[in-house]
Amino acid sequence: MKHILTLFAALFPLLAAGLHAADAKRPNIVIIYADDLGYGDLGCYGSPVIRTPHLDKMAAEGLRFTDFYSGAEVCTPSRAALLTGRYALRSGMAGARRVLFPNSKGGLPPAEVTLAEALKGAGYATAHIGKWHLGIHEGSRPLDQGFEETFGLPYSNDMDARADLPKGATGSPTPPEDGWNVALQHNGKVIEQPAVQTTLTRRYTEQAVKFIRAKKGGPFFIYFAHTFPHVPMFASPAFKGKSRAGIYGDSVEELDWSVGEVLAALRAEQLAENTLVVFSSDNGPWLIMGNQGGSAGLLKDGKGSTWEGGMRVPGIAWMPGKIAPGVTTQMASVLDLYPTALALAGAAAPKDTLLDGTDLRPLLFERKPLPERPFFYYRGEQIFACRLGEWKAHFQSQTGYGGPKAEPHDPPLLFHLGLDPSEKRNVAAAHADVLARIQAAVEAHRATVKAVPQQLN
Ligand code: MG
Q: pLDDT tens digits for 436-445?
A: 999 999 999 9
Q: Please name each of the domains of the chain with its CATH number.
A: 26-366 (3.40.720.10), 374-446 (3.30.1120.10)
pLDDT tens, per residue, the chain with 457 residues = 445 544 444 444 444 444 444 445 899 999 999 999 999 999 999 999 999 999 999 999 999 999 999 999 999 999 999 999 999 999 999 998 999 888 999 999 999 999 999 999 999 999 999 999 999 999 999 999 999 999 999 999 999 999 999 999 999 999 999 999 999 999 999 999 999 999 999 999 999 999 999 999 999 999 999 999 999 999 999 999 999 999 999 999 999 999 999 999 999 999 999 999 999 999 999 999 999 999 999 999 999 999 999 999 999 999 999 999 999 999 999 999 999 999 999 999 999 999 999 999 999 999 999 999 999 999 999 999 999 999 999 999 999 999 999 999 999 999 999 999 999 999 999 999 999 999 999 999 999 999 999 999 8
Distance from the alpha carbon of residue 360 to the mean position of ligand 1, in angstroms: 24
Nearest to 454 by CA among 380, 377, 353: 380
pLDDT value of position 3: 54
Nearest-CA neighbor of 417 among 426, 430, 406? 426
- How many CB atoms lie under 10 A from the CB of residue 70? 28
User: First and final CA of the chain: distance in angstroms?
Assistant: 63
Question: Is 133 an active-site residue?
Answer: yes
Query: From the candidates 75, 226, 230, 394, which is the catalytic residue?
Result: 75
8 Å CB contact between 328 and 362: no
Tens of pLDDT, residue by residue over 207-241, are: 999 999 999 999 999 999 999 999 999 999 999 99
- What rounded mean pLDDT belongs to the chain? 94
* Of 54, 128, 133, 226, catalytic: 133
Torsion over CA: 61, 65, 71, 76 (sign)? positive
Distance 296 CA to ligand 1 centre (A): 14
CB 200 within 8 A of CB 234: yes
pTM: 0.94
* Å from CA of 334 to ligand 1 middle: 14
- Torsion angle of C-alpha atoms 298, 301, 305, 311, degrees rounded to 10: 20
Q: Label residue 70 left, alpha or beta by phi (over 0 means left) and psi (-120 to 50 means alpha).
A: beta
Q: How many angstroms separate the alpha carbon of residue 3 from the centre of ligand 1?
A: 61
List strands edge to edge, sheet with 407-416. 375-379, 382-388, 391-397, 407-416
Residue 25: the pLDDT is 83
> What spacing in Å lies between the alpha carbon of 449 and ligand 1's midpoint?
25
